Amino acid sequence: MIEWIWPWAFWALPLPILVRLLLPQSQRAEAALTVPSLGDFSSVTAASSGEPARRLWKITLLGLAWVFLVSAAARPQLTGEAVSLPASGRDLMLAVDISGSMGTEDMQVQGDFIDRLSVVKAVIAKFVEARNGDRIGLVLFGTSAYLQAPLTFDLKSVNRLLIEAPVGIAGGKTAIGDAIGLAVKRLRKRPNEEKVLILLTDGANNVGEVEPKVAAELAARDGIKIYTVGVGADEMRMPGIFGTLGGRVTNPSADLDEDTLKGIADVTGGKYFRARDPQALIQIYAIIDELEPVEQESEVYRPVQALFYWPLGLSIVLLSLLLALELLIGRETSRV
């Protein structure tokens, strides 16, 4: 079905006629025509005999060009058949810490130690792929929190935006409160159904304008459930002078504020999980994946295709044709 976004533009169709009628015509005295011979007079008469036909063609081409130009200004568009979007699922925001500490290589995979963020990306990617029918949004945070993807059914784009995020791009510190606040701001616009935020971090809130406790209370007030995940190993052997021999054992998760993460989950009716290795992280997201889906109102989407360039192109073609005819007639007249 063809629709017009600006149908009022068609009121401009009679504009050239109104301009011609309203503008005063200049009064010009007809000059006498003097020719040296009858032969010259006959040639001028023959040239002017085709003037009415050329004038008619000129008016016709100009009129059609104007009609097509106005039609393009009315912005025609082709509206396709209605496409039903998934009618069930939940609104789920992911808040992922990408601060500098997420680059710590304390996650062991097949005997090799890999940085935390790479493991998190792999696990969350599979989690997102299985959420067909859910709206998923993505918040990345470090020193500042950024909305990387709004709530959407386009799960592939969410995964791509997460995978492309490098460690430390949002700053070296951790703004947990700001990340929760930003996610709450996006979720509260949704209908009053179950809304979920999954927050993953390896540190403590040490920067930002909003305290995590205050942000969690705002989330609870809006009916948003927060699941918190603390990631990072408890022990990591630092290499000594002679490699691993003589190295000291450290706790790479010493900065993880588990009490705050537990408090956030408790206030909002969620749960706190501790991921010390990739296997634990996979199990955690498998548990979260078992959340009951929430029925949402069915939504209908109609694909729209703009068509203005067709009448605009025809108008340009007609004007070009008119210009070419004027040049051709001008050359013939000069020869006469």
Residue 222 has pLDDT above 50, yes or no: yes
What letter represents residue 123's amino acid? V
Residue 303 to residues 75, 78, 79, 81, 82: CA-CA distances in angstroms?
Answer: 16, 8, 6, 7, 7
252: Cβ contacts below 8 Å, ≥ 6 apart: 104, 106, 232, 233, 235, 236
- Name every residue whose Cβ is closer than 8 Å to that of residue 120 and which is 6 or more positions away in sequence: 96, 102, 200, 231, 281
- Its pTM stands at 0.61
Question: Do residues 196 and 92 make contact, with C-beta atoms less than 8 angstroms apart?
Answer: yes
Lowest-pLDDT choice from 43-52, 213-222, 298-307: 43-52
Q: Does the structure show a pLDDT above 70 at 311?
A: yes
Q: DSSP string spanning 133-153?
A: TSEEEEEEESSSEEEEEEEES
Greater model confidence, 103 or 243: 103
Output the pLDDT for position 259: 94
CB 180 within 8 A of CB 197: yes
pLDDT of 28 higher than 50: no
Burial 127-150 (b: 16+ CB within 10 A, else e): bbeebeebbbbbbbbbbbbbbbbe
Residues in the chain, overall count: 336
pLDDT digits 0-9 by tens, 134-163: 889 999 999 999 999 999 989 999 999 999
Q: What is the pLDDT of residue 83?
A: 67
Mean pLDDT over 284-302 rounds to 69
Q: Is the pLDDT higher at 192 or at 216?
A: 216
The conformation of residue 8, written as its DSSP 8-state character, comes to G
pLDDT surpasses 90 at 97: yes
Rounded percentage of the chain residues whose pLDDT exceeds 90: 42
Largest CA distance in the chain: 121
Q: What is the pLDDT of residue 112?
A: 83
**Distance (Å, whole) CA 266 – CA 275:** 18
Residues ≥6 apart with Cβ < 8 Å to 2: 76, 77, 78, 79, 307
Q: Above 60 in pLDDT, residue 48?
A: no
Task: pLDDT band for 313, please (50, 70, 90 cuts).
Answer: very high
56 or 220: whose pLDDT is higher? Answer: 220
Rounded distance, CA 273 to CA 262, Å? 9
